[in-house]
Structure 1
Amino acid sequence: MSPRTLDPAVAVFVAAVNAGDRGAFFAVLTDDATMSDDGTDYGLVPWTEREIFSAEGRMDIETVSADGRSLVATYTNTTWGTMHTRWTFTVTDGKITHFETGQA
């Protein structure tokens, strides 16, 4: 999937996840960004550390919505293995204010 189809902020998010780049990841989020996983709200920093950064998370995009703010990806990390996941992003002024993920 071409990164050109993603909203620019979402493209940075995906690239940061795949590179394990905490700095780029948090730079594309607003200071008060929130997230949920399978409908449950979690603290953003503890969740991302546990599910992405310390678990070597990786997103392989399968499909992207027309607006570039929703996607389906094969997500792999060292904790859970490989999962078919959905991701939806709320973007305001070029930054992500909220993201939702879960089983697709």
Structure 2
Amino acid sequence: MTIPVDKLSDPAVRSLLSALNAGNRDAFFAALTENATMSDDGSERDLAQWVDREIFTSHGHIDVQTEKAAGRALVANYRNDTWGEMRTAWRFTVDGTRVSRIETGQA
């Protein structure tokens, strides 16, 4: 069963993933802190480069399956034009009202 993005518990994560699914790069970056960081499968990545490659130029979309840790730990089916669909785990660190860190990888 999929959890609609607009029903996620954490408002910062909800804003970030709503922007992701809408393909709205400006709103996505507005939902992040200025110095936000990320890792993919345990390796640190350049956030802007990763987001452009894995989300916006490849039409990324996330379908959340489960949420834990007050909406900051998710398991989701993520798909894009490059890799197809895969089961992924996502962890978010929130600073105030914006996301300061994204950790993702295969679930």
TM range (shorter): over 0.9
2:26 alignment partner, SS class: helix
Query: Using the alignment, how far apart are the partners of 1:24 and 1:45 within structure 2?
Result: 13
- Is it true that 1:99 corresponds to 2:102 in the alignment? yes
| Unpaired stretches in structure 1, ≥5 consecutive residues | none
- Calculate the aligned-residue CA RMSD, in Å: 0.9
Query: Paired residue for 1:65, among 50, 58, 68?
Result: 68
Alignment partners' CA distance in 2, 1:36 and 1:14: 17
1:73-92 equivalent positions in 2, closer than 5 A: 73-92=76-95
Alpha-carbon shift at residue 66 of structure 1 (Å)? 4.0
- Partners of 2:81 and 2:43 lie apart in 1 by 22
Distance (Å, rounded) in 1 between the aligned partners of 2:8 and 2:80: 24
Equivalent of residue 9 in structure 1, options 5, 8, 12: 12
User: What TM-score do the two structures reach when normalised by structure 2?
Assistant: 0.93
Looking at structure 1, the residues matched to 80 and 60 of structure 2 have their Cα atoms a distance apart, in angstroms, of 4
Match of 2:59, as an amino acid?
Answer: E
**TM-score, normalising length: structure 1:** 0.96
Cα-to-partner distance string for 1:25-71 (whole Å, 9 max, x where unaligned): 00010110000000000100000000000000000010011411110
Which sections of structure 2, spanning at least 5 residues, go unmatched? none
